[in-house]
Amino acid sequence: MKLIPKVVHTIRFKQFSLQTEKNYVHWIKRFIRFHNYRHPSEMKEQEIIEFLTHLANMKKVSASTQNQALNAIVFLYRQVLDIDLGDFSSFARAKKPKLLPIVLSKDEVIAILHNLEGVPFLMTALLYGAGLRLHEVLRLRVKDIDFKRNLIFIRQSKGKKDRVVPFPRLIQDQLRLHLSSVKKIHETDMKDGLGEVYIPEALSRKYPNAKYSWYWKFIFPSYKYSKDPRSGTIRRHHKHQSYLIRHIRAAADTAGISKRLTAHTFRHSFATHLLEDGKDIRTVQQLLGHDNIQTTMIYTHVAEHGAAKVSPLDSLALNSLSKQTQETDTQRTVAAHVLQPEEHLPLWKKLLSKLTSRFTYTPNLQEAKR
């Protein structure tokens, strides 16, 4: 058997995902091309070091991309070629930046949801309302929703783990209507002889009729049939991830939100808003499905109670205001000072004019009270 077909056969035997299969095959081919199409069995640790160092120093790939290439090469040698490698840890490693997640405010979430409707609205509401990953929303099946207990069951997600998350009550009626439409599609597919849906291979052998069952159908099916790249079966799969990403970006543009958004931004916002509302971090960890609480701790750095709510620059105005109102003890006088900064805060006005002439600032009464 040739090398690449052997790699594919081994990956499928070990029941890796289709995406993992594509990624591993891609990096193995790049590794072979980098060394002028030499067979990997002829190459050892030094060639691996050269390739990984090239990715970091010349291609400037991220740390996660380099790790993906490393995992593919290790899989090739250990699982496919059955070759034990020596020490090759001396390769140059890509630097892993310490990035904070991009988080939407609650008002921004409302604005985006307001500009969505139909299926994109339901999918985005689940991203934010249940803290789901994009692929978890796409792979939801009818059987995973428990309307009576207000729960959603996430099956075999990242790390092959199951978990339970709350089902937002706000969208339950809309989801019921959506499912009634999906069931009509299912009935039409069954009449056309194309009612089969993908289920894991082991379950398909154990329950041969499950693939035709309504309860195994995807909640968000594609509008067209597609050919399974592994089995060659023609059937209706779930929607492609680009469908939702396109609608989210359009809704954000309409709402005037300039942040760099992905579908995962709503999961970040879900976790951050729960912490801001006083939820225990262990609870948030369980809802997100994190193994390590350190992964969840990143959201404490972007939650409002984890950072100063008032900039020192803004506090200059408040301090100036406080000094000028020491001789009065009435809120009416404080309000008068706040609402007329030009009259009472000449120093503040001069400082602002130095920084920029395009922006104006009106101190907030609630901030002044604090």
Told to judge if 358 belongs to the known catalytic residues of this protein, a careful annotator would answer no
Told to judge if 301 belongs to the known catalytic residues of this protein, a careful annotator would answer no
Separation of alpha carbons 97 and 345, rounded Å: 42
Told to judge if 267 belongs to the known catalytic residues of this protein, a careful annotator would answer yes
11-16-17 Cα angle (round to 5)? 120
Told to judge if 114 belongs to the known catalytic residues of this protein, a careful annotator would answer no
Q: State the catalytic residue, choosing from 24, 77, 128, 133.
A: 133
Q: State the catalytic residue, choosing from 237, 264, 344, 349.
A: 264
By the 8 A CB rule, do 136 and 144 touch? no
Q: State the catalytic residue, choosing from 217, 239, 268, 290.
A: 290
Q: How many CA atoms lie within 13 A of 160 on its CB side?
A: 4
Told to judge if 290 belongs to the known catalytic residues of this protein, a careful annotator would answer yes
Separation of alpha carbons 19 and 24, rounded Å: 9
Q: State the catalytic residue, choosing from 267, 268, 273, 337.
A: 267
Q: State the catalytic residue, choosing from 235, 247, 299, 337.
A: 299
DSSP letters along 251-301, please? HHHHHT--S---THHHHHHHHHHHHHTT--HHHHHHHHT-SSHHHHHGGGG
Separation of alpha carbons 247 and 251, rounded Å: 6
Told to judge if 264 belongs to the known catalytic residues of this protein, a careful annotator would answer yes
Tokens 């023609």 correspond to: 234
Q: State the catalytic residue, choosing from 158, 161, 206, 369.
A: 158
Separation of alpha carbons 324 and 334, rounded Å: 9
Q: Which residues contact 185 (CB under 8 A, 6 or more apart)?
A: 221, 236
So which residues are the catalytic ones? 133, 158, 264, 267, 290, 299
